[in-house]
Amino acid sequence: MTDEHIQPQASRNFETLAIHAGQEADPLTGAVVPPIYQVSTYKQDGVGGLRGGYEYSRSANPTRTALEENLAALEGGRRGLAFASGLAAEDCLLRTLLVPGDHVVIPSDAYGGTFRLFAKVLERWGVEWSVADSADPSSVRDALRPRTKVIWVETPTNPLLGITDIAAVAEIARAAGARLVVDNTFASPYLQQPLALGADVVVHSTTKYMGGHSDVVGGALITSDPGLGEELAYHQNAMGAVAGPFDAWLVLRGAKTLAVRMDRHCANASRVAELLVSHPKVTQVYYPGLPEHPGHEVAAKQMRAFGGMVSFRVAGGEEAAVEVCNRARLFTLGESLGGVESLIEHPGRMTHASTAGSALEVPADLVRLSVGIEAVDDLLADLSQALG
């Protein structure tokens, strides 16, 4: 018996689970970190005699299992599943839950790739969707149809940092017989735990804060419904877009420092938001930590802190916004988010270009920051010079 068995895992605190859940010392060698099981198949002790249930690495792999158990613990769920990307996780989830003719409500400022998955891929397979302002639960209720099977929520949203009251929308979903899916990528499980607020499934792009070092692309699904967990695992294996062992290992390593990284991301982002609010070249700042943000109170209720993402609009329009992105030096011009290094981007021309002309189009003068964990004074100095 190791001391892991003395205290039930569920009673442990987040920071402890992040380091230990799913990761007992390797029984063979005592290695304190789960090995990268870079293997496709497993020797059977006689036909069907599997050791530990492993037969083929699409179905299950020990490194991935460690990550999946860790993710389930961090979100307070029963089942975690790790995928090759966030979009692979979303695709698996939607093809598990939906058949042609079903309807989905999606938020008006969803992640561009999520929107594209609905508008350009699933629509061809007969899935119907409509857009709601999920910051306003009555807008979600108005968008329901008799065949609404999924309500999709992202909070905070990308790139406008809109906030959805998860518990309020969970009630609407339950009354409608629909599943509530929450994309928790921006908050991470350290800041927000949607399952406890009534969500049925949590989605992550583990590429972002979970991995945290801009060195891996991955995705995850977590649910507390064991039946749904089984169905998702069935489809994960049937469709095959699983996380590879090394990618799973990188996300698992990132998870260990999630809490300390998020604390610094949040502290730095709130200083950045303060600077931007008082800057003459900035016409609007989107950060849920600001008291004037329309979702501030809901965010304060359902989040531990307000996250590391800040968006703002620049006086002078699109060209001025692009100029700010081009002038930044310490903030690296690039897509993605959630890594230790600060990033800057122009959503209209970069991450959200595919939403042009749709209800999800973003303002042309918008700049999005992923505030990293560098020394905050260096970040503030770089933004000041980029704004000119």
Q: Which stretch binds ligand PLP (CB under 6 A): 182-190, 226-234, 252-260, 374-382?
A: 182-190
What six digits make up the tokens of 155? 């909070």
DSSP 83-106: ESSHHHHHHHHHHHH--TT-EEEE
Q: Which stretch binds ligand PLP (CB under 6 A): 141-149, 200-208, 273-281, 302-310?
A: 200-208
Binding of residue 183 to ligand PLP (CB under 6 A): yes
CB atoms within 10 A of CB 75: 28
CB 131 within 8 A of CB 359: yes
| Residue among 34, 62, 86, 363 that touches ligand PLP (CB under 6 A) | 86
| Residue among 148, 164, 185, 224 that touches ligand PLP (CB under 6 A) | 185
Calpha distance 258→263 (Å, rounded): 9
Nearer to ligand PLP, 85 or 236 (CB): 85
What angle, rounded to 10 degrees, do the helices at 258-277 and 376-387 form? 40
Residue at token pair 């209209």: 348
List 141, 208, 261, 313, catalytic entry: 208
| Residue among 219, 244, 245, 372 that touches ligand PLP (CB under 6 A) | 219
Restricted to residues 297-326, the positions that interact with ligand PLP (CB under 6 A) are none
Residue 347: burial class (beta carbons within 10 Å; 0-12, 13-18, 19+): buried
* Three-state SS annotation for 113-146: HHHHHHHHHHHHHCCEEEEECCCCHHHHHHHCCC
- Residues near 227 by Cβ (< 8 Å), separated by ≥ 6? none
Q: Which stretch binds ligand PLP (CB under 6 A): 179-187, 259-267, 274-282, 316-324?
A: 179-187
Nearer to ligand PLP, 108 or 205 (CB): 205
DSSP 246-300: HHHHHHHHHHHTHHHHHHHHHHHHHHHHHHHHT-TTEEEEE-TTSTTSTTHHHHH
**Strand 179-183 relative to strand 201-205, pairing:** parallel
Q: Which stretch binds ligand PLP (CB under 6 A): 85-93, 130-138, 252-260, 310-318?
A: 85-93
Cis peptide before 100 (omega within 30 of 0): no
Calpha distance 186→230 (Å, rounded): 26
Closest distance of CB 177 from ligand PLP, Å: 25
Residue at token pair 């061809």: 124
Closest distance of CB 333 from ligand PLP, Å: 17
| Residue among 207, 223, 224, 355 that touches ligand PLP (CB under 6 A) | 207
Q: Is 109 a catalytic residue?
A: no
Nearer to ligand PLP, 54 or 91 (CB): 91
Q: Is 313 a catalytic residue?
A: no
| Residue among 23, 63, 65, 114 that touches ligand PLP (CB under 6 A) | 114
Binding of residue 154 to ligand PLP (CB under 6 A): yes
Closest distance of CB 236 from ligand PLP, Å: 15
Restricted to residues 1-30, the positions that interact with ligand PLP (CB under 6 A) are none
What six digits make up the tokens of 84? 């090759």
| Residue among 60, 63, 108, 111 that touches ligand PLP (CB under 6 A) | 111
Closest distance of CB 335 from ligand PLP, Å: 9
Binding of residue 208 to ligand PLP (CB under 6 A): yes
Q: Is 116 a catalytic residue?
A: no
Closest distance of CB 203 from ligand PLP, Å: 7
Q: In what order do the strands lie in the sheet with 309-314?
A: 282-286, 309-314, 366-370, 343-345, 332-333
Q: Which stretch binds ligand PLP (CB under 6 A): 22-30, 79-87, 280-288, 361-369?
A: 79-87
Q: Is 58 a catalytic residue?
A: yes
Binding of residue 156 to ligand PLP (CB under 6 A): no
**Strand 201-205 relative to strand 219-223, pairing:** antiparallel
CB 288 within 8 A of CB 263: no
Which residues participate in catalysis according to the annotation? 58, 111, 183, 208
Rule CB under 6 A: which residues touch ligand PLP? 85-87, 111, 113-114, 154, 158, 183, 185-186, 205, 207-208, 217, 219
